[in-house]
Structure 1
Amino acid sequence: MSNAKVSIVIPVYNAEKYIERCIDSIIGQSYAEWEIIAVNDGSTDSSLARLNRYAYDKRIIVIDIPNGGVVNARNVALKSASGSYLTFVDADDYLPSDAILRMMEKMDGQDVDLVIGGYTLHWERDNRFKDVNNKKDFCTADDCLDYCIRYGETFLPVKMYRMDLFRRSVNIPHDIIFMEDTIGVMQYLCCCRKVAAVDGSIYVYFKNNGSASMTIRPKTVASMLGVAEFLMKYVEADTCGSRQVLIGKSGDLLLTVMGHLDLIPEHTDRFRKLLAHYSELSLSQSGIRDKILKLYLSSPSWSLAWLGCLIRLTRIKSTVKKLLWRMIH
């Protein structure tokens, strides 16, 4: 295995409680050839001051910019990155001490374009941990894309990339504020040859007490519409495999947008056009989701009524699952 440098990008926004743990977990890595590019994205707390405490270490680059969102912060970091390989860490998360080494053993030793690993969930509330490991190993990028989309593993972290390929292939639109990682992972995988999986956890997601479920805002709904449009363009261009999985994900997003279309009335015509296009792409789809979506084109009020029933049924199922989980655990 070579001693190639790994660039570790950390977007930072109001992470004063966690950023030192994050950086310390990288300083303590068993693999020594790394650099950190930490971008303070207009934090209003003491995050920048805490980052500057690491100025003594020449491997740690701190960049301070006005708030522009995570996509912009990552792009700024990439301009300063000098590594041959790339990985991402969120400021409130951290890495096991051998994470970079194990990813490099796969990346360098097996000559692959992407390494994906398992991760650990760490809840602050009760200091509980849960490991989430890969279900399978991968040979092709299409297999990996199918897995990532199907199981929601489309995070830019928990993966290692080739820097040159990432720079050539990934270009996430700045107006996407929801599921931006999904777009980045898709763009990269569509340019990959081989993918390898690391056994066990290479990343710790920290679920802090301040975490809340995502608030549905107009910008979020508009962003969902943009992601659905992006996915359908990939299906239409036949750029990569996993056609049915991508169509299904587009349908899920359009169904969510339909339920919140009142927040973005200016996008109604755009939604109807995308829905008509989705109907053409999903001719073989016959589930309840697709029936509700296609009904909207002829009878929006009936479609929304059926959607309300579906949401209530889903909530009931979710409540039952939670009760069963508590009984078992």
Structure 2
Amino acid sequence: METKCLISVVIPVFNVEPYLRKCINSIVSQTFEKIEIIIVDDGSTDRSGIISDEYKNDCRVKVIHKSNEGAAEARKIGVKAASGKYIAFVDSDDWIEYNTFEIISKVIDRYNADIITWGFSTVSIDNYVESKMNYNYCSGFYNEDDIVEKIYPTSLSNSKGIWGRDYIPALWNKVFKKELIVKNIDSINKEIIIGEDLALSFSCLLDAKSIYILNDQFLYYYRNTPYSIMKRYNKNYLHSTIKLIDCLDKCVEKVGVYDFKKQINANTIFFIIDILKNELKNEFYSPKELAQLIKKVIQYPRFKKALKDDIKIKVGLYNYCILRCLKKENIFEVLIELKFYRIIKKLKNNLGV
């Protein structure tokens, strides 16, 4: 018997009142109708929950209200309520093209791929398209052997930059077969609050038997918002990163056909540098407290292991200087480099560079 709903669209919602209608409207107005829309209000304190309820008259829409636990937990609740063959995720301050799922449904009908993914546009707070992003892979169908040979080698790191990956780790520019998500989503530690997309999408990639890449389609609009978790100080960044790297290490244990060690170590180095930059956002840190944090990072065994790996990565001048001092385990020099980085960043911000 054919499944009535082909794609379940899960939208985790938290305090996005100014943008939520545009997001939901872009989904309820899809030209492909065999979808269901699951809105999970994650304890919003603004009018997001009320706005979500406005759409309950559409028989395709389910609205779930819950206490605040973060986007990852909201997604889990949405997946449990989903009935579709495929799962899609849309962030509640973003939106999609009106014919996104019509395009995707045609790929599903022809290829039945485990994962289908496409390009996206980054947009400003006032909806201005800033850039377009797609994959460094050719468009088309990839079977299991293709995935191992062509996608695995640069999926986490391509050595071209500090966040250089050829496989976009986001959840929101993909649809996944439901069984793939169900198999992996509960294994993602709820304490991962930064990089939870990477943890789940990478875990699903390792279990996928087929992928279809639509490199010429930019169907998703990702909004750069000023309140993004990546743009403000987060006191849990270090703990979250430790859990994320642990998750990635465990993920690759199930793959015997490819060695991801260097790619995960490269990601660990990226996150170490970002952890330190995050701590610089805390204006109340004394030099002594920052030095203690640097010592904690340097001495953490998994981080130390990554720093000792001989990895060739293009990281840029400032990051290179920080990384060089980290590898020497010289806390004082790291502190000086970070202070210099903070001065340069403030200067650039003041000059509007």
Change (3 A) 1:193 1:308: farther
Equivalences for residues 212-251 of structure 1 within 5 A: 214-234=231-251, 240=258, 242-251=260-269
Equivalences for residues 133-282 of structure 1 within 5 A: 133-137=134-138, 139=142, 140-142=146-148, 143-144=150-151, 146-147=154-155, 149=157, 150-151=164-165, 153-170=168-185, 171-198=187-214, 199-208=216-225, 214-234=231-251, 240=258, 242-258=260-276, 260=279, 262=289, 265=293, 268=296, 271-279=299-307, 282=309
Change (3 A) 1:21 1:43: same
Partner of 2:161: none
Partner of 1:56: 57
Encode CA deviations 1:229-287: one digit per residue, 9 max, x unaligned: 3334556775655543332111111233356494785992895212232245x245588
Q: Deviation of residue 8 (structure 1)? A: 0.2
Change (3 A) 1:278 1:235: farther
The amino acid that maps onto 2:326 is L
Q: Deviation of residue 106 (structure 1)? A: 2.1
Kindly, what percent of the aligned residue pairs are identical? 22
Q: Deviation of residue 135 (structure 1)? A: 3.3
Question: Contact conserved, 1:43 with 1:67, CA < 8 A, in 2?
Answer: yes
Which runs of no fewer than 5 residues in structure 2 stay unpaired? Answer: 158-163, 281-288, 315-319
Whole-Å separation in 2 of the counterparts to 1:267 and 1:26: 48
Whole-Å separation in 1 of the counterparts to 2:3 and 2:86: 12
Structure-1-length-normalised TM-score: 0.82
Whole-Å separation in 2 of the counterparts to 1:168 and 1:236: 16
Q: For this pair of structures, how many residues does the alignment match?
A: 317
Question: Contact conserved, 2:118 with 2:217, CA < 8 A, in 1?
Answer: yes
Question: Contact conserved, 1:228 with 1:253, CA < 8 A, in 2?
Answer: no
Q: Does 1:105 align with 2:133?
A: no
Question: Contact conserved, 1:225 with 1:253, CA < 8 A, in 2?
Answer: no
The amino acid that maps onto 1:59 is R
Q: Secondary structure at the match of 2:38?
A: strand
Q: Secondary structure at the match of 2:179?
A: helix
Partner of 1:292: 325
Question: Contact conserved, 2:43 with 2:67, CA < 8 A, in 1?
Answer: yes
Whole-Å separation in 2 of the counterparts to 1:17 and 1:284: 44
Whole-Å separation in 1 of the counterparts to 2:246 and 2:312: 18
Q: Does 1:302 align with 2:333?
A: yes
Encode CA deviations 1:106-159: one digit per residue, 9 max, x unaligned: 233123211110112222347345432333326233444524653372111011
Whole-Å separation in 1 of the counterparts to 2:344 and 2:175: 35
Whole-Å separation in 2 of the counterparts to 1:125 and 1:131: 16
Superposed CA RMSD in Å reads: 3.4
Equivalences for residues 71-82 of structure 1 within 5 A: 71-82=72-83
Question: Contact conserved, 1:121 with 1:206, CA < 8 A, in 2?
Answer: yes
Change (3 A) 1:102 1:265: same
Change (3 A) 1:97 1:40: same
Q: Deviation of residue 82 (structure 1)? A: 0.6
Partner of 1:92: 93
Q: Deviation of residue 214 (structure 1)? A: 1.7
Which shifted more, 86-95 or 256-265? 256-265
Which runs of no fewer than 5 residues in structure 1 stay unpaired? Answer: 324-329
Q: Deviation of residue 211 (structure 1)? A: 5.5
Q: Secondary structure at the match of 1:190?
A: helix
Structure-2-length-normalised TM-score: 0.77
Whole-Å separation in 2 of the counterparts to 1:16 and 1:67: 16
